[in-house]
Amino acid sequence: MGDGESVNGARLNGGAGDGVKTPFLIGVAGGTASGKSTVCKRIMEQLGQADMDHTQRQVVTISQDSFYRELSDSEKARAERGLFNFDHPSAFNEELMLQTLQEILHGKKVEISEYDYRRNAVCPEKKITIYPADVVLFEGILVFYFPAIRDLFHMKLFVDTDSDTRLARRVPRDINERGRDLDQVLNAYMNFVKPAFEEFCSPTKKFADVVIPRGADNTVAIDLIVQHIREFLNNRTRSDHSPHLATCGTSAMNLANGR
């Protein structure tokens, strides 16, 4: 596989002769509380990236939650009562997501607003700076839903956890970390979260190269993914220009096919 070619249809460099050191972009999808962020955390930890200074990291993680769109006043009022559907594709700023990922793929530093779950709003005053990295993990419930965004990923992972486990995780998380009460959490789950998962999230599993049953508990799958990422990083370290991914690309195919 030469420079400028692709893995799973996504380009591996920024363009012929432009010298851009394009990151390996990995999408991590799955239902709410399936363990997406925990899988990403485990990957970061195994690669020794979690405790590194942000400016020095070779691997970074970005949450799709940072791309919730700004709500109107009436939508905010509904959200405060637990009556707004945050699991619907229309809740996200697709244009900003696409623009940000394209800038990242061109090796640019970007700033992303943090999301405040208690206020149901992004916080423009709280920015996360994402420095150019070799590998970028983009995780969220609908990262494979939008075709233009889905096509950017070099590898797609789907964290597959059963619905009972996801609900059991979501209830204490939303109560303790996000200021919800039990009735709000259960009503939102039955009216929005569960139907949206079945309609919008679950069908995107077919786009995944690798499905991770049981999420972060599946250490075998995570070890294989880490091995693949480490191989990519080693190849990039040896390369003085555009990423040389001949071995890495083959490994990606083998991992996706369960070899």
More confident residue, 6 or 169: 169
- Sheet containing 135-139, strands listed edge to edge, beginning at the edge strand earlier in sequence: 59-63, 135-139, 24-30, 155-160, 210-213
* Residue 106 token pair: 């061109």
pLDDT at 13: 52
| pLDDT tens track for 4-15 | 545 554 555 544
Q: What pLDDT does residue 62 have?
A: 97
Q: How many CA atoms lie within 13 A of 211 on its CB side?
A: 11
pLDDT digits (tens, 9 = 90+) for 200-212: 999 999 999 999 9
Q: What is the DSSP string of the chain?
A: --TT-EETTEESSSSTTS-----EEEEEEESTTSSHHHHHHHHHHHTT-TTS-GGG-SEEEEEGGGGBPPPPHHHHHHHHTT-S-TTSGGGB-HHHHHHHHHHHHTT--EEEEEEETTTTEEEEEEEEEE---SEEEEE-TTTTTSHHHHTT-SEEEEEE--HHHHHHHHHHHHHHTT---HHHHHHHIIIIIHHHIIIIIGGGGGG-SEEEETGGG-HHHHHHHHHHHHHHHHHHHH-SSS---HHHHHHHHHHHTT-
| 135: Cα separation from own chain's centroid | 12
Two tokens, residue 113: 């607003």
Per-residue model confidence (pLDDT) at position 244: 39
Query: Helix axis angle, 219-238 relative to 36-46, nearest 10°?
Result: 50
Q: What is the pTM of this model?
A: 0.85
pLDDT the model gives residue 59? 94
Nearest 5°: CA angle at 123, between 139 and 64? 10
54-111 pLDDT, tens per residue?
Answer: 888 999 999 999 999 999 999 999 998 889 999 999 999 999 999 999 999 999 999 9
* Minimum mean pLDDT range among 59-68, 76-85, 176-185, 245-254: 245-254
pLDDT-based confidence at residue 258 (cuts at 50, 70, 90): very low
Q: In the chain, what are the domains?
A: 6-65+133-256 (3.40.50.300)
Specify whether the CB–CB gap between 95 and 71 falls below 8 A: no
Residues 6+ apart with CB under 8 A from 241: 19
Q: What pLDDT is attached to residue 19?
A: 58
